[in-house]
Structure 1
Amino acid sequence: MHLAHYLGLLHRSQANLASAFREVAAAHADEPDIEHLCLRQAAICDTHAERLHPFAERYAEEAPREPDRLHSTLFSGTRTGGIALLRDLQDLYLMASECDICWTVIGQAAYGARDRDLLATVRDGEGETAAQLTWLRSRMKQAAPQALVVAD
């Protein structure tokens, strides 16, 4: 059963996304909203990983390395300068998108396996991840004019 692969992918992606949100919170603590909201998003990712744990055990989770490679490629150190926040938010968006599509694929498998508990977890996770993506997109729109038009 390949569901174990995707459960491992999502489980690890959520943990890495939580870490990345914390890195951005620390790097941009001078922004009025970033530290607080990124730490809040990290906590949501931690909750997702916790909720996935019973299913990881049930389906004998495989732990693929792809999420680790994505995280290390996107977050290899903190950025500085006017464009740094925008780039960091975009990287978070890419990582959250990975989680989003994993929720979708796992949801389809949960339907096929008739696993109501997993399906309920997926519904919650999908909704919260969609909200994260919406916030990231909105915050990038807010940061873009300053980062791209106004000189450092």
Structure 2
Amino acid sequence: MNGITLTLRALHHGERSLAKELSAVADRHRTEHEIHHVAHDLLMWSNDHCRRLAETGRDHGLDLDVPSEEPATGLLSAVRERAAEALGNRPEPGLPLLRDLRELYLGAVGNSVYWEMLAQAGQAARDDRLTDLASLCHPRTLRQMRWANAMIKKLAPQVLTSL
């Protein structure tokens, strides 16, 4: 395995992890409508990144899985929905939300580093497909980072000083 395939694999893993976390955050914070809806929209971006990475990975001999289009259902989704309702009624629901936003931010930061590495490798290898992929997806990842950071800045003062 060469450096490009290692980076594609690591980036795919990072996007899958971020997608799972975005899905969980959207479910856990259903009562926070902005969080719920934006996290769901950002989840679609990470799923799209995974699909594009899987397509590009095939050209490099990788077999990367493609995320399902189906939303989470069943017992886990029901448990998350009940937990969201319970947390929404507690006086300190902000602390778990801040923790979740921190995790989303850090996941997006890690992915951003890999997108930058992939873009640089694509330029060095004169591989337009890699540079085009990074040019499309990296700005979205930067937007995911900015959103999580902005929400932390917005919520932290209120949450942390009200304890």
Q: What TM bracket, shorter-length normalisation?
A: 0.7 to 0.9
What is the distance in 2 between the residues matched to 1:42 and 1:10? 15
* Unaligned residue ranges in structure 1 (runs of 5+): 64-76
1:89 paired residue number: 101
What is the distance in 2 between the residues matched to 1:133 and 1:3? 24
What is the distance in 2 between the residues matched to 1:55 and 1:82? 39
Q: Is the 8 A contact 2:105 2:148 kept in 1?
A: yes
Give, in angstroms, the shift of residue 134 of structure 1.
Answer: 0.8
1:123 and 2:135 equivalent? yes
1:1-150 matches, within 5 Å, as 1-61=2-62, 81-150=93-162
What is the distance in 2 between the residues matched to 1:21 and 1:88? 9
Q: Deviations over 1:65-97 (max 9, x none)?
A: xxxxxxxxxxxx989643110111001111111
Letter in 2 for 1:28: H
* Unaligned residue ranges in structure 2 (runs of 5+): 65-79, 88-92
Give, in angstroms, the shift of residue 60 of structure 1.
Answer: 2.3
**Which consecutive aligned stretches of 4+ in structure 1 deviate over 4 angstroms post-superposition?**
77-80
What is the distance in 2 between the residues matched to 1:7 and 1:145? 38
Letter in 1 for 2:115: W
Corresponding residue pairs, total = 138
Q: Give me the identity figure in percent.
A: 28
What is the distance in 2 between the residues matched to 1:116 and 1:82? 44
What is the distance in 1 between the residues matched to 2:47 and 2:149? 21
Q: Is the 8 A contact 1:4 1:62 kept in 2?
A: no
Give, in angstroms, the shift of residue 62 of structure 1.
Answer: 8.1
Give the 3 Å change call, closer, same or farther, for CA 129–48 of structure 1 in structure 2. same
- Structure with greater contact order relative to length (CA < 8 Å, sep ≥ 6): 1
Q: Deviations over 1:84-117 (max 9, x none)?
A: 1011100111111111000000111101111112
TM-score between the two structures when normalised by the length of structure 2:
0.79
- Give the secondary structure class of the aligned counterpart of 1:33: helix
Q: Is the 8 A contact 1:99 1:129 kept in 2?
A: yes
Greater CA radius of gyration, 1 or 2? 2
What is the distance in 2 between the residues matched to 1:2 and 1:137? 30
